[in-house]
């Protein structure tokens, strides 16, 4: 497996020219976070993950996490030491409030570091990712006492956090969970039940694990309306802040998985464990969605991160592997490196342009999160929050779907050697496959986009966003002949997306099944247009800068507009096809079991 080279220069370009970092750094509280400072931090963080975290990625995949007979879990060799170094450096604490020991930097900076950490070692990076989600939930809904007791240790990374939703009978339908929370006289709750798919539910990298657990109190309403959220620590915390006796929670088993072998995915048992209510009773889903929305952007970024790592490896292989005679512009080349074969070039350009576009999408959305919290104008905060709501399902779904596709292309470039585990190309493909499933399957993301986000303000929110995309046309028109095809393709697909969006808004009210049946192709259509827009913005921003950078950005934007964006129009037919044919065949016909006479 090749070394990892952190894409610091590209991250900084996107921060400055796509996410609008100069404006964000000017918000109150970010006076210490100017771009030059961030550039130094990203460079140092990149060196750290490349030198400390990336080298243990392959070992983690081969060795995996192990549950021991005493119900402890041992992570792969090197994970524990690397995590201790991560805590010492404080990279995970940068985007959190200084009040609790964080760096007080914008969320967009934290996401840039998270991308590099995930590229280096996705299985390892899941521990701080889940902890960050738990921190966000406590920041929003924890009591002052809970924040004081847990957040300093969690922000520092000394304690990790988990999210406990899923049960054997309650996966995507969280409302079906049956874990009980019985109130006690001292104000705590006895938590009893079983949770599955709990990432880092037990491990040896931190002394304490703070579980956030969804459970149902006696007499609570059925479904999601009766769910509450509780802190259930691995060890009880004494009044002086030290760790006390072991709580009634343990790991029953860990899953054997397709990928992310180094990350223990646990079946957890809660046996009258002591839990502490977060916020109000029956408001657990509201609290958990804070965690999930944070995690969904992080999971979308996993798609970018693994695609980047796989691309670097496939590019290196394509440059060194010689095979056949290549047909190149102007002639042929014998015994050519495979990078000179046109179809390999197509795969490499697809990877490069899509990664640049997806990175722009993730950081653009993170920048909107910063605006939604820190912008001094209330109207601007509200509008940014709407954009975050609109883009988050696209980030999660498109980021992970394309992460699957791009790591597959990287494996394809390796040819038969990509199918052999020794090269390490297969690991990236296996590791990223889970990302389209967890934190809400991509079908759920599409349903969220159609069912909740398009209808905001009667459809005005999405209409205003599409109008914002069209505003770039004037700049493209003035940019010269090199941008002409980008402009024409983007306008064409914006028109088609506008038509599909109108159909969704009209149809969703009277025939929600028809709208939901087209939700996944609609999300793809929407996402491809946004990616093309972001690449065009990047090409325009780069034009007056370094000549090589300007050429690279222009070629990527033009390649995407001419060769990948046209697919967006093809999704319009599927998005508006309705539900009839999806439900025309019964289960027997789907299984081809209908009797023939």
Closest CA to 295 of 205, 164, 392: 392
CB distance 431 to 438 below 8 Å: no
Place of tokens 């009893």: 192
* Dist. CA 138–CA 135, nearest whole Å: 5
Q: Coil, strand or helix: which one is 28?
A: coil
31, 421, 439, 551: the catalytic one is 439
Residues forming a β-bridge with 181: 191
Residues forming a β-bridge with 73: 67
Residue 302, token pair as written in the block: 């996993």
Residues 6+ apart with CB under 8 A from 10: 356, 359
Closest CA to 575 of 532, 516, 534: 516
* Dist. CA 79–CA 133, nearest whole Å: 21
* Residue 328, phi then psi, degrees to nearest 5: -115, 165
Residues 6+ apart with CB under 8 A from 430: 258, 259
CB distance 250 to 193 below 8 Å: no
CB distance 230 to 278 below 8 Å: yes
β-pair type (265-277, 249-254): antiparallel
Closest CA to 355 of 318, 390, 405: 405
Handedness of CA 380, 384, 385, 389 (dihedral sign): positive
439 assigned to active site: yes
Q: Is 230 exposed, middle or buried (0-12, 13-18, 19+ CB in 10 A)?
A: buried
Residues 6+ apart with CB under 8 A from 155: 93, 96, 97, 100, 101, 102, 135
Output the 3-class SS for 506-546: HHHHHCHHHHHHCHHHHHHHHHHHHHHHHHHHHHHHHCCCC
Other beta carbons less than 10 A from residue 270's beta carbon: 26
Q: Would you give the DSSP letter of residue 267?
A: E
* Dist. CA 32–CA 35, nearest whole Å: 9
Q: Is 211 exposed, middle or buried (0-12, 13-18, 19+ CB in 10 A)?
A: buried
Q: Coil, strand or helix: which one is 214?
A: strand
Other beta carbons less than 10 A from residue 166's beta carbon: 18
* Dist. CA 145–CA 152, nearest whole Å: 12
Catalytic residues: 439
């Amino acid at each position: 497996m090749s070394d990892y080279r952190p894409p610091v220069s590209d991250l900084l370009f996107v921060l400055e020219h796509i996410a609008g970092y100069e404006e964000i750094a000017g918000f109150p509280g970010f006076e210490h976070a100017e771009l030059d400072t961030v550039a130094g931090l990203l460079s140092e963080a990149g060196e750290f993950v490349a030198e400390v975290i990336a080298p243990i990625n392959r070992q983690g995949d081969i060795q995996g996490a192990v549950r021991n007979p005493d119900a402890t879990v041992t992570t792969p060799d090197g994970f524990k030491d690397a995590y201790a170094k991560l805590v010492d450096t404080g990279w995970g604490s940068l985007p959190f409030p200084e009040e609790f020991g964080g760096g007080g930097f914008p969320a967009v900076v934290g996401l840039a570091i998270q991308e590099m950490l995930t590229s280096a070692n996705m299985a390892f990076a899941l521990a701080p990712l889940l902890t960050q989600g738990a921190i966000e939930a406590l920041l929003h809904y924890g009591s002052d006492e809970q924040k004081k007791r847990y957040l300093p240790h969690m922000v520092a990374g000394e304690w990790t956090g988990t999210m406990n939703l899923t049960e054997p009978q309650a996966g995507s339908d969280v409302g079906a969970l049956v874990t009980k929370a019985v109130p006690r006289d001292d104000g705590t709750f006895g938590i009893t039940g079983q949770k599955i798919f709990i990432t880092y539910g037990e491990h040896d990298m931190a002394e304490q694990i703070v579980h956030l657990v969804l459970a149902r109190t006696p007499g609570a309403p059925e479904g999601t309306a009766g769910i509450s959220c509780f802190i259930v620590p691995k060890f009880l915390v004494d009044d002086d802040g030290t760790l006390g006796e072991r709580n009634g929670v343990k790991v029953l088993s860990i899953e054997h998985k397709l990928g992310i072998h180094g990350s223990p995915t646990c079946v957890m048992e809660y046996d009258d464990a002591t839990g502490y209510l977060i916020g109000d009773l029956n408001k657990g889903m509201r609290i958990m969605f804070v965690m999930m929305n944070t995690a969904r952007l992080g999971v979308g970024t996993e798609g970018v991160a693994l695609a980047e790592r796989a691309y670097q490896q496939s590019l290196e292989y394509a440059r060194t592997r010689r095979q056949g005679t290549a047909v190149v512009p102007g002639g042929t080349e014998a015994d050519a490196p495979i990078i000179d074969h046109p179809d390999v070039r197509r795969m490499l350009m697809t990877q490069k342009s899509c990664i640049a576009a997806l990175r722009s999408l993730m950081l653009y959305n993170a920048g909107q999160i910063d605006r939604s919290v820190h912008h001094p104008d209330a109207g601007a905060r509200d509008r940014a929050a709407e954009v975050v709501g609109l883009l988050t399902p696209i980030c999660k779904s498109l980021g992970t779907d394309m992460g699957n596709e791009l790591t597959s292309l990287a494996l394809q470039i390796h040819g038969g050697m990509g199918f052999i585990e020794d090269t390490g190309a297969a690991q990236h493909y296996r590791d990223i496959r889970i990302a389209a499933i967890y934190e809400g399957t991509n079908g759920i993301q599409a349903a969220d986009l159609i069912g909740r986000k398009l209808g905001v303000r009667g459809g005005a929110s999405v209409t205003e966003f599409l109008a914002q995309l069209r505003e770039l046309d004037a700049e493209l028109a003035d940019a010269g002949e090199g941008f002409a095809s980008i402009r024409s393709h983007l306008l064409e697909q914006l028109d088609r997306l506008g038509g599909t969006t109108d159909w969704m808004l009209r149809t969703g009210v009277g025939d929600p099944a028809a709208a939901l049946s087209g939700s996944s192709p609609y999300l793809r259509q929407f996402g491809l247009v946004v990616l093309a827009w972001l690449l065009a913005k990047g090409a325009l921003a780069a034009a007056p800068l370094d000549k090589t950078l300007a050429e690279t950005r222009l070629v990527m934007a033009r390649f995407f507009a001419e060769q990948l964006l046209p697919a967006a129009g093809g999704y319009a037919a599927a998005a508006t096809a309705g539900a009839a044919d999806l439900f025309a065949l019964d289960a027997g016909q789907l299984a081809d079991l209908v009797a023939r006479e």
